[in-house]
Amino acid sequence: MNDYTVDSCRIIQLPRHHSTDRRGNLSVVEAFRTVPFDVRRVYYIYDVPGGESRGAHAHRSLHQLIVAVSGSFTVSVTDGVETRSYRLDRPYMGLYLVPGMWRTLDDFSSGAVCLVLASEAYDEDDYIRDYAGFLDFRQIPDKKALSR
Ligand code: TYD
């Protein structure tokens, strides 16, 4: 369990450096400056077929920044009580996710690339992959289990 809620997640506007001579834009993420965590790992999700979804898990202690560096997709985040949805469609907008949030990524546009900056190395033990286990982690009674 942790004290984070969906309200602890937020959109972070990344700096955008326009070139004055039409050579395009540049955005940057710096650990402890743009994002409030160290960046120890970067991965990206791409070639997601239309209609597919990713995620559907939570992390016990990982902080992440999710950026649609190309195209768009929707990230739904819940702490087990409140849910928020974010359409990410700009390469200079990052969604900061705190630990203990169940997230689902879907509605990927064609050619979408989802860049993820993470605070720790990959560790399968940090994942919570079933929703009942997530509610247990959040110390929220499972309504379905209660009604059985
Ligand atoms: P996963 O995080 O389950 O992806 P998603 O939730 O988007 O479907 O990861 C998919 C696979 O990739 C899984 O077998 C673990 C592996 N993986 C790594 O080996 N290292 C990593 O840093 C990540 C994020 C995943």
DSSP 17-83: EE-TTS--EEE---BTTTBSS---EEEEEE-PPTT--EEEEEESS--EEEEEEES-EEEEEE-SS-E
pLDDT of residue 142: 74
Share of the chain above pLDDT 70, in %: 95
Q: SS3 of 6, please? A: helix
Say what the pLDDT of residue 139 is.
94
* Claim: this prediction has a pTM higher than 0.85: yes
Q: 8 alpha carbon to ligand 1 midpoint, in Å?
A: 24
| Per-position DSSP letters for 68-97, written without gaps between them | EEES-EEEEEE-SS-EEEEEE--TTEEEEE
What pLDDT digit, counting tens, does each position of 90-142 carry?
Answer: 999 999 999 999 999 999 999 999 999 999 999 999 999 999 999 999 999 87
Task: Tell me the CA–centroid distance for residue 122 and ligand 1, in Å.
Answer: 8
**Local structure of 99: helix, strand or coil:** coil
* Burial of 131: CB neighbours in 10 Å, binned 0-12, 13-18, 19+: middle
* Mutational test site, ligand 1, from 40, 41, 45, 54, max ligand atoms within 8 Å of CB: 54
